[in-house]
Amino acid sequence: MSKDRLIIFDTTLRDGEQSPGASMTLEEKVRIAKTLEQMRVDVIEAGFPIASPGDFESVKAVAQAVKGSTVCGLSRSLDKDIERAGEALKPANSARIHTFIATSPIHMKEKLRMQPEDVLAQAVRAVKKSRQYTDDVEFSAEDAGRSELDFLCQIVEAAIDAGATTINIPDTVGYNIPHQFGELVRQLIERVPNSDKAVFSVHCHNDLGLAVGNSLASVLNGARQVECTINGLGERAGNAALEEVVMAVRTRQDVFDCDTNIDTSIIVPASRLVSSVTGFPVQPNKAIVGKNAFAHESGIHQDGVLKSRETYEIMRAQDVGWSDNKIVLGKHSGRSALKSRLEEIGIVLDGEEALNAAFSRFKDVADRKHEIFDEDLMAIAQESQASIEKARYHLVSSWVCSETGETPHAKVTLKIDGEEVVGESDGGGSVDAVFSAIKSIVSDHGTLELYSVNSITSGTDAQGEVTVRLEKGGRQVYGNGADPDIVIASAYAYLDALNKLALATDREHPQYSGV
C-alpha cells in the first residue's frame, strides 16, 4: 500500500529570520532557497512581503529563482498585505499565499481587540482575497494551541468554505504537550465537516523543547504538512527542526503511515549553510546535524559499532550528508575536481563567477593547509560566495605584528564602495588590533557583544571559524568568517557583521503589528 505524502513546509527564511540577529540578505535567501529546492522541500516560505521593500524583493527573487518547490509569502489578513504578497509571488511557477489571524481569547481580546465573529469574518475575507491571486491558499489560526476548540472548528470550516486549501494549526507560543496537541488536530479533522477539502498542517514553536514532539504527534493524528526550519531556527526558542522531523519519520516508517519526499543527503550542507549565513552555531550534541551526532566516544560503543553499526546507530551518517571525513582534495586539484566534489556534497555554485571565486579561495587555503576536507570545502564555498555578493566592506589585506612583550599592531586595507582605505591600530592582542584598525575606518560599527572561534576540522592547520555579534540601537547582527589563520577569519567575520549592520532595517514584524 502506498503511503501518504507528508508535505514539508520550510519557514527558515520567514520565521527563522524572526530570530533576533538572524537577518539575511537577498542573495543569502536565494542561496538557501536553492538549497531547499535541491533538498526537494515542497513549500518554501520566502518571507513577509509587506514587512519592508527588502522583504518584498527577497520573496520576488526567490519566486524567480526557485522552480521546483512552491514559493509562499506570508500576509496578515489585511488587503494591503495580500496584495503585496500576490505581487511578490508573480514570478513563481507555483505560488502560495499564507494568510493568518489570531484566534485565541487572549490574542483576540488583548492584541487584536476584536470580537470572535469579526475575526471569523476577516479570515473569510482574507482567504477569498488571496484566492484572487492563487488557488493555493493557506490559512493559519495564530495561537491555535491556546484557542477554544468550538471557535477553532467554526473558523476552520469557514476558511475552507472560502477557499483555503491548507489549514495550519500553530502552537505559536510552544505551550502544548504532544498527546494534547495531537488530540487537538484529530478532533479538528473529525469535527470540521469539510475537513477532507484541505490539508491539515502544524507549526510548532519550541519554548518547552517540544516542537518536534508536538509536530510528530499531530502527524500521527492526521496532519499532512509540517512547518519547520533548518536547525530549528525561529522566533524565541525556535521552530520544529526540519532535519529532526524528516529523519524521525524516515527512520520510524514502522510507526508513520506517511513519508516525505526530502533528499536527506542535503540536510548537513543545508544546516551548515544556514548556520554560516546567520552566524548561529549548531550545538555539538544537536540531533542529526550536530558535530557529535554520530560520534562514539565510549570504548563499549566504539567496539559495538565496529562489530555491527546497528548496535548503537539508528541512522547512517552518510544518509543525512555527513562525509566520512576523508581528505578529498589537495593543492594540485583542479577547478573541475573542486566543482564536482562540491556538487557531490550538495553545494551548487551560482555560475562561473562563483566557481572562480571558490577556486581562488580553495587554492589560497590549500597552499596553507595541505589536507582539504569536505567541511573545509563547505566553508570555502560560503566565504567565496559572500565575497562576490553585494557588500559594502571587503578585506583587501591585513598585516599584524605580534611579539612577546610588545603591543600588537595591525594595518588593514579595506575596499569600501570600490575605493581602497587603510587603517592602523594597536590592540590588546592580534585580533583586537585588527578590529581596532577596522574601527578606525568604519565609524558605524556598533558594540561587539560576542566573539567565538571554532575549528572546522582538527589539527593546528585547521580552518578557524569565527562568529561575532554586534549590537546597535537594539538591533543584533551576526557575522561569520573562516580561514586557516584565525586573525584573518576574525577580520572576515567582523566585516560580515558590519556589512549586515549597514543594510537598511525598517521592517514590520508580522505578529506584533497590523490588524
Nearer CB in complex with ligand KIV: 172/275:
172
Nearer CB in complex with ligand KIV: 160/365:
160
Contact pick of 31, 96, 203, 394 for ligand KIV (by CB under 6 A): 203
Nearer CB in complex with Zn ion: 44/497:
44
100 binds, among ligand KIV, Zn ion, none (CB under 5 to 8 A by kind): ligand KIV
The answer to whether 278 touches 24, Cβ cutoff 8 Å, is yes
Contact pick of 140, 214, 382, 398 for ligand KIV (by CB under 6 A): 140
> Which stretch in 105-113, 167-175, 259-267, 384-392 sits in contact with ligand KIV by CB under 6 A?
167-175
Q: How many CA atoms lie within 13 A of 352 on its CB side?
A: 0
Nearer CB in complex with ligand KIV: 140/166:
140
Site string for ligand KIV, 87-126 (x = CB under 6 A): -------------x--------------------------
Nearer CB in complex with Zn ion: 237/317:
237
Nearer CB in complex with ligand KIV: 99/436:
99
The answer to whether 286 touches 293, Cβ cutoff 8 Å, is yes
Helix (H) / strand (E) element for 133: namely none
Of the candidates 248, 187, 262, the one whose C-alpha atom is nearest the C-alpha of residue 10 is 262
Number of residues that bind Zn ion (CB under 5 A): 1
Helix (H) / strand (E) element for 57: namely helix 53-65
Give me the least distance between CB of 93 and ligand KIV, in Å please. 23
Site string for ligand KIV, 440-479 (x = CB under 6 A): ----------------------------------------
> Which stretch in 62-70, 165-173, 397-405, 447-455 sits in contact with ligand KIV by CB under 6 A?
165-173
Sequence-distant (6+) residues with CB within 8 A of 74 are: 14, 45, 47, 48, 49, 85, 98, 99, 100, 510
224 binds, among Zn ion, ligand KIV, none (CB under 5 to 8 A by kind): none
Give, as ranges, the residues between 384 and 423 that touch ligand KIV (CB under 6 A).
none
What is the C-alpha separation between 161 and 12, in angstroms, rounded? 30
Give me the least distance between CB of 408 and ligand KIV, in Å please. 47
The answer to whether 463 touches 456, Cβ cutoff 8 Å, is yes
> Which stretch in 7-15, 157-165, 301-309, 397-405 sits in contact with Zn ion by CB under 5 A?
7-15
Which residues partner with 133 through β-bridges? Answer: none
What is the C-alpha separation between 98 and 76, in angstroms, rounded? 8
What end-to-end distance do the CA atoms of the chain give, in Å? 46
Give me the least distance between CB of 100 and ligand KIV, in Å please. 5
CA distances, 504 to each of 51, 55, 279, 480, 492 (Å): 12, 11, 19, 20, 21
Residue in the structure block whose three cell numbers are 576574525: 490
Quick check: 15 binds Zn ion (CB under 5 A)? yes
Alpha-helical runs (H) found in 334-404: 335-344, 351-368, 374-388
Nearer CB in complex with ligand KIV: 144/192:
144
Contact pick of 10, 81, 142, 483 for ligand KIV (by CB under 6 A): 142
Could you tell me the three cell numbers for 247?
A: 529523519
Quick check: 76 binds ligand KIV (CB under 6 A)? no
> Which stretch in 22-30, 166-174, 217-225, 356-364 sits in contact with ligand KIV by CB under 6 A?
166-174
The answer to whether 122 touches 151, Cβ cutoff 8 Å, is no
3-state class (DSSP) for residue 393: strand
- Rounded to 5 degrees, what are φ and ψ at 426? -85, 170
54 binds, among Zn ion, ligand KIV, none (CB under 5 to 8 A by kind): none
Quick check: 142 binds Zn ion (CB under 5 A)? no
- Rounded to 5 degrees, what are φ and ψ at 311? -60, -40
- Rounded to 5 degrees, what are φ and ψ at 2? -80, 145
Nearer CB in complex with ligand KIV: 140/499:
140
Quick check: 55 binds Zn ion (CB under 5 A)? no
The count of other CB atoms within 10 Å of the CB of residue 325 is: 12
Quick check: 174 binds ligand KIV (CB under 6 A)? no
142 binds, among Zn ion, ligand KIV, none (CB under 5 to 8 A by kind): ligand KIV
Contact pick of 10, 15, 374, 483 for ligand KIV (by CB under 6 A): 15
Nearer CB in complex with ligand KIV: 142/465:
142
Which residues partner with 414 through β-bridges? Answer: 395, 421
Quick check: 84 binds ligand KIV (CB under 6 A)? no
User: Which residue pairs, CB below 8 angstroms and at least 24 apart, start in 179-187?
Assistant: 179/217, 181/145, 181/214, 181/217, 181/218, 182/214, 182/217, 182/218, 182/220, 182/221, 183/221, 184/144, 184/145, 184/149, 185/217, 185/218, 185/221, 185/222, 185/223, 186/221, 186/222, 187/149
Contact pick of 172, 206, 215, 490 for ligand KIV (by CB under 6 A): 172
Contact pick of 86, 182, 346, 510 for ligand KIV (by CB under 6 A): 510
Q: Which residues bind ligand KIV (CB under 6 A)?
A: 15, 100, 140, 142, 168, 170, 172, 203, 205, 510
Q: Which residues bind Zn ion (CB under 5 A)?
A: 15
